[in-house]
Chains A and B, each alone.
Chain A
């Protein structure tokens, strides 16, 4: 039996374990780059997330799938490690040690940022859709909803009966948003004062994309993760609530 065949069978059979090694190597290499090239100024975890996205792009081009490197047989375990279940589990764990007072102090700012965030993203998406020549309220609202998050897009689209092309487009808009949040947060954090629980809660409420917020804050300061995640977790639900109802009606009123 071929030695490579033996190795690759073992690696794919133990997918989750393989993914620990894969991610461990990325993180080690990223911190190495961070220390050597930027003297630690650019966070190692920010580089690791960026490398992850680059690998995801390469994986997508190579396999034609939708799951980045997780579509490569050997690395299918990355799908489990980076899936919603373990991500949410780890997010909940970060809440351990959070002070209730910090959450309460920013409660109102957090809640208003949620409403502002959902509405703002929705109308940006809707206006872009109008500029690009969409004239029916359902399509415009679906693209707006996708800009809220890539979950709200399809939920709204199927509720309003939008075409599958429009729904696909709305998912793409949400993906762009979540990836830009991942990349942009560590770059912009300094300039927007994202360094305390209060602004982290506002950040979570405005951005809302769970993966974007999770990765963005991890790359800035892991201590802020629970605050941002706390508001972001209500964002998609609020979007699913508002987009197909009030926000759609406003679009319909104009059109």
Chain B
């Protein structure tokens, strides 16, 4: 049943966000710490577990993979609702601080990738 996949995905997301909220409160801040990351770990863990005990049917799987495939259109919609005007209107301070931070971060990616290996 396709709903099993969608429900499993939803369950992981909600549980992850709830745990992320708790983590935030634990540190005394009003922000979600890693809720989506926790949800992703839950999904990886649960789907591997479920696969061992009984097969996650093809159609059940489609309830998850559909959402993974609809990801790019969602990102395009997300781009279309950004406050681009607000970014440009922020003036030189916003452009410089954001711009330099992004540039330096890009430059650091190859450096940090090497350290690991």
B90 touches A173 (CB 8 A): yes
CB distance from A204 to the nearest CB of B (A): 10
Interfacial chain B residues near A194, Cβ < 8 Å: 109
State how many angstroms separate the Cβ of A132 from the closest Cβ of chain B: 5
Chain B interface residue count, Cβ-Cβ cutoff 8 angstroms: 78
Q: Give the interface residue-count category, chain A.
A: 35 or more
A238 at the interface (CB under 8 A from B): yes
Residue from the list A82, A178, A202, A236 in contact with B31, Cβ < 8 A: A236
Q: Report whether B94 and A175 are in contact in the complex, using a CB–CB cutoff of 8 Å.
A: yes
Among B16, B73, B99, the one with the most A-chain Cβ atoms within 10 Å of its Cβ is B73
A residues 79-127 with Cβ under 8 Å of B?
79, 81-83, 86-96, 98, 100, 103, 106, 108-109, 112-113, 116-117, 120-121, 124-125
The reply to whether A68 and B24 form a contact with Cβ atoms under 8 Å apart is no
A207 beta carbon closer than 8 Å to chain B: yes
- Chain A 1-25 per-residue mask, 1 if CB under 8 angstroms from chain B, else 0: 0000000000000000001101110
**Closest Cβ of chain B: how far from A95's Cβ, in Å?**
4
- With the chains together, A146 CA to B96 CA distance in Å? 12
Residues in B with CB closer than 8 Å to A155 are 29-31
Q: Which residue of B lies closest to A55 (CB)?
A: B80
- Complex contact B85–A94 (CB within 8 A): no
Judged by a CB distance under 8 angstroms, whether B89 is at the interface is yes
- Name the CB-closest residue of A to B30: A155
Given A172-B87, A225-B71, the answer on whether A23 and B76 have CB atoms closer than 8 Å is yes
In the bound complex, do residue A69 and residue B81 qualify as a contact, i.e. CB atoms below 8 Å apart?
yes
Q: Which residues of B contact A87 (CB under 8 A)?
A: 74-75, 78
Determine whether A203 belongs to the interface, using a CB cutoff of 8 Å to chain B: yes
Q: In the complex, what residue of chain B is closest to A66 when comparing beta carbons?
A: B83
Our pick among B77, B89, B107 for the contact of A82 (Cβ within 8 Å) is B77
**Contact among A49, A56, A147 with B75 in the assembled complex (CB-CB below 8 Å):** A49
Instruction: Please name all residues of chain A whose beta carbon is closer than 8 Å to the beta carbon of B117 when the two chains form the complex.
Output: 198
Query: What is the count of residue pairs linking A and B with beta-carbon distances less than 8 angstroms?
Result: 315
Contact B91 A172 (CB under 8 A): yes
Q: Tell me, rounded to whole Å, the shortest Cβ–Cβ distance linking B81 to chain A.
A: 4
- Are A49 and B35 also in contact (CB < 8 A) when A143-B97, A179-B84, A222-B71 are? no
Given contacts A79-B81, A177-B98, are A198 and B75 in contact (CB under 8 A)? no
B residues 65-117 near A (Cβ < 8 Å) are 65-68, 70-102, 104-110, 112-113, 115-117
How far in angstroms is the closest Cβ of chain B from A119? 11
- The reply to whether B71 and A91 form a contact with Cβ atoms under 8 Å apart is yes
Q: Which residues of chain B come closer than 8 Å to A188, judged between CB atoms? A: 106
- Cβ of A27: which chain B residues have Cβ within 8 Å of it? 72-73, 76
> Are A240 and B31 in contact, CB atoms less than 8 angstroms apart?
yes
List 12 extra interface pairs beyond A23-B76, A93-B68, CB under 8 A: A45-B76, A50-B79, A78-B80, A92-B39, A147-B98, A151-B31, A169-B93, A171-B90, A177-B101, A218-B72, A230-B40, A234-B37
| Chain B residues in the interface with A (C-beta under 8 A) | 9-10, 12-13, 16-17, 20, 23-24, 27, 29-37, 39-41, 43-45, 47-48, 61, 64-68, 70-102, 104-110, 112-113, 115-117
| Complex A-B: 5 CB contacts under 8 Å | A106-B116, A132-B92, A172-B89, A193-B113, A207-B102
